[in-house]
Amino acid sequence: MRSDKIKAGPGGAHVRALLYGMGFIKEEIERPLIGVVNSQNEIVPGHRLLDRVAEAVKHGVLLAGGSPVEFPSIGICDGIAMGHDGMKYPLASRELICDSIEAMAVGHQFDGLVLIPNCDKIVPGMLMAAARLNIPAVVVSGGPMRTGFLDGRTLDFNSVMEKIGQCKNGGCSEEELERVAEQACPGCGSCSGLFTANSMNCLTEALGMGLPFNGTALCDSGERIRIAKAAGLKIMQLVKDGIRPRDIMTEKAFENAITVDMAMAGSTNTVLHLPAIAHEAGLRLELATFDRISEKTPYIAKLSPSGHHHLEDLHRAGGIPAIMNELSKKGLINEGCMTVTGLTAGENTADTPIRDNSIILPADSPYRNRGGLAILRGNLAPDGAVVKESAVAEEMLRHSGPAVVFDSEEEASAAIWGKKIKKGDVIVIRYEGPKGGPGMREMLSPTSSIAGMGMDKDVALLTDGRFSGASRGASIGHISPEAMDGGLIGLIRDGDIIHIDIPGRKLSAELSDDEIAARRSAFKPPEPKAKTGYLARYSRLVTSANTGAVLK
């Protein structure tokens, strides 16, 4: 056992002494030590109930003859951090989570890990740690919250954000807004739409690092606790068999995750996180891979914000196993990939057909014949940009209009709320990238304001920052290179004509090479926004969005 290095024999007496001091008995010390990484806290709805999951995991480890040892991880709520300086921290916290787990796991020589995340950056941060450490690991998420309801309508977190825009535009009263706020999030769990948290929890399953239904079993259900107990059992089997994360997270496994992502139009942030996880596994995941897979993957599950279904609906219809089973019929899933169950992806999903064809469509009759996310390129984004094509109104798939340029999210939001944006405009928000932000803030406030004001079919928004998984409309993010790195987005001026062609995968500014060269010669990047602390260090080390915003 790996842990014997520190606790066995005469040389391990000092470690045994410390363990005895905490109440461990000899039999516990002699068993494999399993780190249980719990990101529970009392500020994130998705993490509020994770102690229940951790207890169940520990029961499973004990049942299988291991010694579970719990330690914590931080977790930031993107919804609470949204729209202010706090949003500079969630993406940066992904690296803190990964680094801190590495420090704990190596410092204490755990034999295996059960990782318990639930929300946006915590899931990829833990998967990055698993890939980097490459010791046996299982991820068991906290599960999605139930869908909200009001007056016969389904609600989720994004309903509130869009209602704010409607309220600011005079379309509803503050009392009506408050009624929606009270009903949109009816309990704990990751926000109920296919936003970033649930996208990553589902892709953890598709990647092979989570048990079947890890992504969709509800937070407050008995099934969630059963999955957690099973994860405790499975980690012991992985330790015994020597199966490690890099045996599971192979190139073909990442292709499976991307395929599922495209089939259900997950958050655009998956295009940031999957390359970062692959990087830690020693693999390079290019943006071109996403587009190649999108071209051949049918879009078969339309969940909020692209549609009106939510995670509990997807679960009822068969969840990720049913999606993978259906895609396998088209030869789109690498069925031989190993998973944490000890079985292959094909074996895990063979007996889970679609249970409701109104929620998951047959692959032969999809919503459209290619995936829900698109990678755009052109002089504005030579290294790529990302858009959730499935959430764009048909009339905005191709659009040309004048740029209205802002150097921060706050400036753009003030202009939107001040009704200074006209139909046909292309809002450009720059200096919000990984370096420029720093931290690549999500732009749910401006996108939801535009949608709430009924302008999502008339206005496009471009940024070197990123969008919440809850965003909809012609919202194009991750523009690379970012403005702070000298990208063309930093040279755009008010009135420049921007051309968007999502079906053609093009994003360009109508500027001659001579004009671009003249502007570039006169360009001086602004001073970094963060001069001290963690964000200053992060901005010096972080790479571009197209590489997953990993640190150098």
The residues carrying an active-site annotation are 468
Distances 8 to 4, 55, 242, 270, 414 between C-alpha atoms, Å: 5, 27, 20, 42, 63
Name beta bridge partners: 113: 35, 137
Cβ burial, residue 358 (10 Å; 0-12/13-18/19+):
exposed
Half-sphere exposure for 206 (CA within 13 Å, toward CB): 34
Could you identify the residue written with the tokens 């994860």? 231
Distance CA 294, CA 324 (A): 15
Is the alpha carbon torsion for 489, 490, 494, 496 positive or negative?
A: negative
Name the maximum alpha-carbon separation found in the chain: 76
Write phi, then psi, for 512 (nearest 5 degrees).
-75, 160
Distance CA 300, CA 321 (A): 13
Write phi, then psi, for 304 (nearest 5 degrees).
-55, 135
Distances 309 to 177, 196, 312, 359, 497 between C-alpha atoms, Å: 22, 16, 8, 7, 36
What is the chain's Cα-based Rg? 23
